[in-house]
Structure 1
């Protein structure tokens, strides 16, 4: 406990020491924050991992997160780390809904591994809205909306207060893949409740003051789906009435979160059938009939037209494709092509992209690093991401990630 207190004090002092830089960065344009974020990487299956309704970073087979891991990711060229976080059973009873101090201290400690190295850091509320997760409660089609919203406000108030002295490299994200669990068109009143959660999030964070009054805040639409966020399906941008008056009227401080795993039969379906993607694919029977480069371009152009053009940056908070190289020895080359294309197309349309790494480096894994041995396992995919962020959309000649 004494160590936890020291960590909290040190983080507070560090954040206060960077107040001046935050005030400077607060005037950064939407395009500049995206450029500063560069290539992004997810610390997946760690602080959102759970067992019996309680988050535990080693619950899904990964080792404890260390500074050495974050340093390895930074050395590979990543400038942003997204840290998915679940709270679940670590939230106490109402009306205060107090987050377990040890858990919040550990979240802050992991955030500091990246933040203190100069990286941008995104943290969210990840698994609390999944019906498939034991103990989930942020359920948009539950009849208990008054209780849910009160709990949501109290939890974000605590998180925001913990991080309010951090500068603008710390970005808070309201939730993750929130929907009713049924794939397909959004339904009401679920979408209205998701909009309400986003509004509560923005208002609650802003009211805590400090650097939170001008911090970039990241909000998703229905299931972080591009079509259901940019299209006419019910997404409502939250208002930002409590933001700092020092922010120019024409500037925004709200970002839009989407994910991209299309085509799913290539990117996520656990079979050995569809293993190739893109213009360099050589086997039509192993290539999806949809979701190729033209589709990717149209999707991110849509986000540019609807949000980026109006000053709201877009973050592709997750993308990637699972390892099917045991079925097709050329698969990692196409995974790299896919990663490069997403990174490059995001850059083209003014968005930042954050690769989904779940720590798994065997069949069906997304992992770029072995977190046990602290080694790079997919240098080809990392190279492709860095090439994409630099603006290249070349689709051939990539070194294998194997």
Structure 2
């Protein structure tokens, strides 16, 4: 038994008692301690530049712990296990992103302590431990989470302050719980909601939304760093504005700013995350009988113009961030199937081009997968072509 793991389990048991005494519902107090897989808790001090080289191909544990529509902690997906994470490693992945909707297991009433319940924190810890035990890097985030992010753009300043208090409470707890965990755990402060705040209304101008976005990212860094121990040097992932490449680069205005940090530029511990679903009507629409959301490129991808557009956008990220010391993670990309389950034309070309271009530019790209590409039960690819794309 790993002595570091034993200590982590004991600390979890203590925190469980504290949370229960603070009013955790008895029906939710479930496990008194997390059933962690045995992994090496040794922390190795690494810069973001070193970490990005080791993250390799990445994937998402999609529609699982962020599945707000399901009371099941695994969102109705196959139950996440150590065996599953070992399968991902064998399939060619070296990193996994674990999206989490924390509101599924915490106090959410305005004015509450926003306490994360023990049973939920324990399950998150278990899943993270499985990935670390399988020698995977882990990105742990705050995902869509039922849209409470819209409070950051509310016309009522009191609502906006309460929304920030919720964000602070959430990350204070997460940072404390994982402060002693190894460097292969990367914390990501937000998701696509950052900047857009889950709504197209609100009282903020575009300039004000960028300002609030920068404030949120700075708060994230400050909270994690102030929690001490390994979090002082842990690599953190900063979500771009709406995780959109064009909006994050914001060329000509540069309103998006990377947070300040205690680490110097040549010792940077921050990375930047954006998503890639371009063109959206090809990547995101799965009903061939409905009109495309945008444009006309629903059925196929792979023209010279398509490939050039991907290179242009990825190069923007390299110029604006990688070349300035902030490695880039493509936190999500995918092509949604047709509604009958068959693949769109040149889907494999799209996925393969994201992977190959990411490797060329020094990015880590993380496939959005809800059991569609890698079969988490059978521990195999659902399509033979994927083996070559994601092989090391």
TM-score tier, shorter chain, comes to 0.7 to 0.9
Which of these residues, 356, 366, 376, is aligned with residue 344 of structure 1? 356
Gaps of 5+ in 2: 1-11, 14-29, 290-297
TM superposition score normalised by structure 2? 0.80
Higher deviation after alignment, 142-151 or 91-100: 91-100
In structure 1, distance between residues paired with 2:32 and 2:132: 18
TM superposition score normalised by structure 1? 0.78
Deviation at 1:332, TM superposition (A): 5.8
In structure 1, distance between residues paired with 2:254 and 2:73: 36
In structure 2, distance between residues paired with 1:354 and 1:146: 33
In structure 1, distance between residues paired with 2:232 and 2:383: 39
In structure 2, distance between residues paired with 1:149 and 1:307: 27
Residues 1:40 and 2:58 are matched in the alignment:
yes
Conservation of the 8 A alpha-carbon contact between 1:337 and 1:384: no
Which of these residues, 208, 212, 224, is aligned with residue 205 of structure 1? 224
Deviation at 1:157, TM superposition (A): 1.0
1:13-57 CA-partner distances (Å, limit 9, x unpaired): 956x403xx23xx2x451x32220000000000000013xx7643
Deviation at 1:237, TM superposition (A): 1.1
Match of 1:276 in 2: 300
Conservation of the 8 A alpha-carbon contact between 1:165 and 1:211: yes
Task: Indicate how the Cα distance of structure 1 residues 181 and 148 shifts in structure 2: closer, same or farther if over 3 A, else same.
Answer: closer
Deviation at 1:313, TM superposition (A): 0.6
Conservation of the 8 A alpha-carbon contact between 2:273 and 2:328: yes
Deviation at 1:183, TM superposition (A): 6.9
Conservation of the 8 A alpha-carbon contact between 2:150 and 2:199: no
Secondary structure of 2:151's aligned partner: coil
Conservation of the 8 A alpha-carbon contact between 2:59 and 2:96: yes
Q: Which has the higher contact order (CA 8 A, sep 6+)?
A: 2
Residues 1:322 and 2:336 are matched in the alignment:
yes
In structure 2, distance between residues paired with 1:204 and 1:187: 26
Which of these residues, 228, 253, 258, is aligned with residue 237 of structure 1? 258
Match of 1:214 in 2: 233
Conservation of the 8 A alpha-carbon contact between 1:368 and 1:377: yes
Gaps of 5+ in 1: 281-289, 360-366, 391-402
The Cα RMSD (Å) is 2.8
In structure 2, distance between residues paired with 1:120 and 1:35: 11
In structure 1, distance between residues paired with 2:60 and 2:207: 31
Aligned length: 346
Matches within 5 A, 1:109-258: 109-128=126-145, 131=147, 136-137=148-149, 139-142=151-154, 143=156, 144-178=159-193, 179-181=196-198, 187-231=206-250, 232=253, 234-240=255-261, 243=262, 250-258=266-274
In structure 1, distance between residues paired with 2:240 and 2:387: 28
Task: Indicate how the Cα distance of structure 1 residues 255 and 374 shifts in structure 2: closer, same or farther if over 3 A, else same.
Answer: same
Task: Indicate how the Cα distance of structure 1 residues 237 and 351 shifts in structure 2: closer, same or farther if over 3 A, else same.
Answer: same
In structure 2, distance between residues paired with 1:298 and 1:70: 34
